[in-house]
Amino acid sequence: MRQRLITKAEPEQTLLKGSLLSKNTIVEEAISLQTLLFDTTINKEDWLEGLKYHSKTLTNLLLNDQINEFNDYLSSQFGSPTFQEISVDQLEAKKAPSAKKGGLVNMNYRTALQDLLQTAILIEHSTIPPYLTALYSIKDGKNVLASQIIRSVAVEEMLHMIMVCNVMNAVSIQPSVNKPQNYPTYPMKLPMNVDFFVGLETFSTNSIATFIAIESPSSAFVKAPVYDHIEENRSFLKSSSVQENNHWTLENMKAFIMENVHTIGEYYDVLFFYIVVFQIIAYYKANGKLPQTFEELNTGGIFTGNPAKQIRPEQYYGSGGKLHAVEALSGVIAVFQEIKGQGEGADESIFDVDPSQFEEGMELAHYFRFKEIFHEHYYLNGKYEPFMDENGMMPVTTPPNGKALPVEWSAAYPMKPNPKIADYQLNPQLYAQGKAFNQTYKNLLDAIQAAVEGDAKELEKSIMYMYALKEQAVGLMSQPLDSQYNAGPTFEYPSN
């Protein structure tokens, strides 16, 4: 049973423009969702505050399966009969002159979602080489328990990447995982508002601290390493500040993420909101009215993809998680719940389980699995009373203090951090080995690419390539590069 984290919050007590979300819930002051989506005359501050409020509200409802509450929310936001009678053409005529060609109604959702979903693929991809590097650097027969944890997480990150591809195919956008622009360049920052860097390192307290920061459900509690040279050449980072009149642009949507998103889970929350927003607009264009229920939003609209391109559970093996196909909004919900649940547990900061349930072999979220390695203890039979609140809940800062998880930190190859293939040019043997590793990794990505393009059987080859990667990585990391470091895999796009 996966451990679940829940949001513990008191009922909000402020009013949303005089309307109630339900009979017993009064929500905070903000512009309505209808105004946020359709009014191009609102100012920047109202647009940003509305985006913060409604992205959180809508996402919390749908990703926590509160469908009835979501229907009440839609009714409270889209219940204006005067707006329901306005056609799309009339709506366009009502816009401010400075924004006639802009606005969400005219925005190309495929262009926007291609960028935002490809960034989600980049985020998932960015974690895989660091996790595999730490795993492969552990010497044979050493740190078996830690190796099992890291391996399981790496496989699940690949699962996440494939599920994001399923979301892209569901909205008729071709995903890409094997082109040069799809490769992370290390060391790097994740494309969010974070203050730590991700790199290729040997197994150590440093690398595990980075992994904890990556998977953290809130601001990282463990400092990740800092690098002297940082690559920040991702197009996602080149977003301007929010424009004054036409707020609904891809640049502004990305700028909102760069300024307000601090964790992977938060990225998926905002991305989910954007997907729902585009589905609302598609429904409005098709029906001439705004949706009032989840059932009206679930199918059709932007979900025009070919079901034959979906990777399904029986086609992916070796993961503790579940792979979800996507053919409607409900499929996106399942995917994002799985990704968030496996990574950080859920939205906020507390366990809602009996701590005696934590034991070796249970499927904790990635964040907690890495904490077990870092603290060298499982969450099993620990003394958690000092960390509990009056409801028996524990904050994510609670350290694992149960059964010992022995770690021999020195039992790893001293790989040079963030190696490049250029580092091996003066050593023909290492250079050839480094190129061979990169080609095998490219072959792995090619197999995934072929699968998400409709040839699902190609995914079976990924198992073979994973075995080859480990052998080639160990071949590199067991050889000295200089007096201080050994060589290591570079995970670069193959050069001729």
How do residues 374-415 score in pLDDT, each as one tens digit?
Answer: 999 998 777 777 877 776 667 777 888 889 999 999 999 999
Confidence of residue 147 (pLDDT cuts 50, 70, 90): very high
pLDDT score recorded for residue 227 = 53
CB atoms within 10 A of CB 321: 20
Least confident segment among 92-96, 327-331, 430-434: 92-96
- Mean pLDDT, residues 312-323 taken together: 73
- Mean pLDDT, residues 172-190 taken together: 96
Q: Is residue 99 part of a domain?
A: no
- The DSSP secondary structure of 258-284, one letter per residue, reads HHH--SHHHHHHHHHHHHHHHHHHHHH
Same domain for 472 and 384, yes or no, is no
Separation of alpha carbons 74 and 21, rounded Å: 9
Separation of alpha carbons 2 and 202, rounded Å: 29
pLDDT score recorded for residue 490 = 98
Same domain for 422 and 373, yes or no, is no
Q: Is residue 329 part of a domain?
A: yes
Same domain for 361 and 488, yes or no, is no
- Mean pLDDT, residues 449-463 taken together: 92
pLDDT: is 217 or 449 the higher one? 449
The interaxial angle of helices 250-260 and 109-137, nearest 10 deg, is 40
Same domain for 244 and 365, yes or no, is yes
Please check the confidence at residue 150 and state whether its pLDDT lies above 70: yes
Spell out the residues 6+ positions from residue 205 whose beta carbon is closer than 8 angstroms to its own: 374, 409
Separation of alpha carbons 50 and 30, rounded Å: 6
pLDDT: is 238 or 5 the higher one? 238
- Quick one: the chain helix, strand, coil %, rounded to 5? 50, 5, 45
Same domain for 468 and 385, yes or no, is no
pLDDT score recorded for residue 319 = 52
Closest CA to 176 of 449, 456, 457: 449
Same domain for 324 and 458, yes or no, is no
Residues 369, 374, 378, 382, CA torsion sign: negative
Q: What is the pLDDT of residues 329-362, one digit of tens each?
A: 999 999 999 998 887 654 443 343 444 445 554 5
The one-letter amino acid at 464: M
Separation of alpha carbons 471 and 476, rounded Å: 9
pLDDT score recorded for residue 41 = 87
Q: Is residue 61 part of a domain?
A: no
pLDDT score recorded for residue 218 = 62
Closest CA to 1 of 389, 365, 250, 489: 365
**DSSP letter (8 states) at residue 64:** T
- Mean pLDDT, residues 83-89 taken together: 52
Confidence of residue 318 (pLDDT cuts 50, 70, 90): low
Q: Is residue 7 part of a domain?
A: no
The interaxial angle of helices 144-170 and 428-452, nearest 10 deg, is 50
Please check the confidence at residue 436 and state whether its pLDDT lies above 60: yes
Q: Is residue 282 part of a domain?
A: yes
Confidence of residue 40 (pLDDT cuts 50, 70, 90): confident
pLDDT score recorded for residue 341 = 82
**Do 382 and 400 contact (CB within 8 A), yes or no?**
yes
Select from 378, 393, 412 the last residue of a domain. Answer: 412
Find which of 187-196, 349-358, 479-488 is predicted with most confidence, using mean pLDDT.
Answer: 479-488
Same domain for 119 and 181, yes or no, is yes
Find where tokens 């650097």 sit. Answer: 137
Q: Is residue 426 part of a domain?
A: yes
CB atoms within 10 A of CB 314: 8
Same domain for 384 and 473, yes or no, is no
Residue 357: CATH number of its domain: 1.20.1260.10
pLDDT score recorded for residue 92 = 52
| 16 SS3 class | strand
Domain region containing 157: 108-412
Separation of alpha carbons 48 and 43, rounded Å: 9
| 394 SS3 class | strand
Q: In sequence order, which ranges of 288-349 are alpha helices (DSSP H)?
A: 294-298, 329-343
Q: Is residue 73 part of a domain?
A: no
Same domain for 168 and 136, yes or no, is yes
Same domain for 452 and 489, yes or no, is yes
Mean of per-residue pLDDT scores for the chain: 83
Separation of alpha carbons 210 and 225, rounded Å: 7
Confidence of residue 8 (pLDDT cuts 50, 70, 90): very low
Same domain for 301 and 279, yes or no, is yes
Confidence of residue 322 (pLDDT cuts 50, 70, 90): confident
The interaxial angle of helices 109-137 and 264-287, nearest 10 deg, is 160
pLDDT score recorded for residue 246 = 75
**Do 3 and 345 contact (CB within 8 A), yes or no?**
yes
Pull the structure tokens for residue 415: 């790989």
**DSSP letter (8 states) at residue 385:** G
Please tell me the pTM assigned to this model.
Answer: 0.86
pLDDT score recorded for residue 24 = 38
Pairing of strands 394-395, 5-6: unpaired
- Mean pLDDT, residues 154-180 taken together: 96
pLDDT: is 164 or 17 the higher one? 164
Confidence of residue 226 (pLDDT cuts 50, 70, 90): low
pLDDT score recorded for residue 81 = 52
Closest CA to 290 of 304, 279, 299: 279
Please check the confidence at residue 231 and state whether its pLDDT lies above 70: no
Separation of alpha carbons 76 and 70, rounded Å: 10
Question: With b meaning 16 or more CB within 10 Å and e meaning fewer, what string describes 201-221?
Answer: bbbbebbbbbbbbbbbbbebe
Q: Is 106 exposed, middle or buried (0-12, 13-18, 19+ CB in 10 A)?
A: middle
Please check the confidence at residue 201 and state whether its pLDDT lies above 70: yes
Least confident segment among 35-39, 85-89, 289-293: 85-89
Q: What is the dihedral of CA 90, 93, 99, 105, to 10 degrees?
A: 20
Same domain for 356 and 431, yes or no, is no
pLDDT score recorded for residue 91 = 53
Q: Is 240 exposed, middle or buried (0-12, 13-18, 19+ CB in 10 A)?
A: exposed
Least confident segment among 148-162, 211-225, 269-283, 379-393: 211-225
Least confident segment among 39-53, 146-160, 241-255: 241-255
Confidence of residue 169 (pLDDT cuts 50, 70, 90): very high
Q: Is residue 5 part of a domain?
A: no
Percent of the chain whose pLDDT exceeds 90: 65
Tally of structural domains, the chain: 2
Select from 387, 412, 437 the last residue of a domain. Answer: 412
Select from 412, 441, 469 the last residue of a domain. Answer: 412
pLDDT score recorded for residue 387 = 77
**Do 231 and 186 contact (CB within 8 A), yes or no?**
yes
Separation of alpha carbons 21 and 76, rounded Å: 6
Closest CA to 143 of 476, 372, 380: 372
